[in-house]
Amino acid sequence: MISRLTIAFLFCSLSVLAFAQKAQTDKYAIVARFISYGAGVPRNKPIMEFVGSFQKKYKTKKIQVDTIGPRGREGEYGLGFYLRELSASQKKSFVQQIKKVTKQTGDRGEIQYEENVSADDANIPGRGKPQTIKIE
């Protein structure tokens, strides 16, 4: 009887720990949001070029990017980066450097950055899950 209770308690404890760990890791380290002010969104080319050059410079694994959206009538969307592929120092460097990336001259709209975004908060209900792409 005691051994069954002990086993049941262990399974419950492990499931709670696993759920808590998943909740902590389901945050994007940074999300780049492409915002429109009535005239369309900027292109994501500067961000994608930055990610490619960061991978080359630091010789990292392929960085996963989630496309979040579209949102609104003008196709506003975001690019979410978990950065699980990077070490803590690389992750910090990536976040600091990507915030310096701006839209290309002539592009309309704006690029805004937000750190530590919950994956649930990044989605809009009824729009489905983010699409995952890998930067080659």
- pLDDT of 30 > 50? The answer is yes
List the domain boundaries for the chain.
26-134
DSSP string, 81-126: E--TTS-HHHHHHHHHHHTT--PPTT--SEEEEEEEEEHHHHSPTT
Res. 126 pLDDT band, cuts 50 70 90: very low
What is the reported pTM? 0.70
Class level of CATH domain 26-134: alpha beta
Res. 103 pLDDT band, cuts 50 70 90: confident
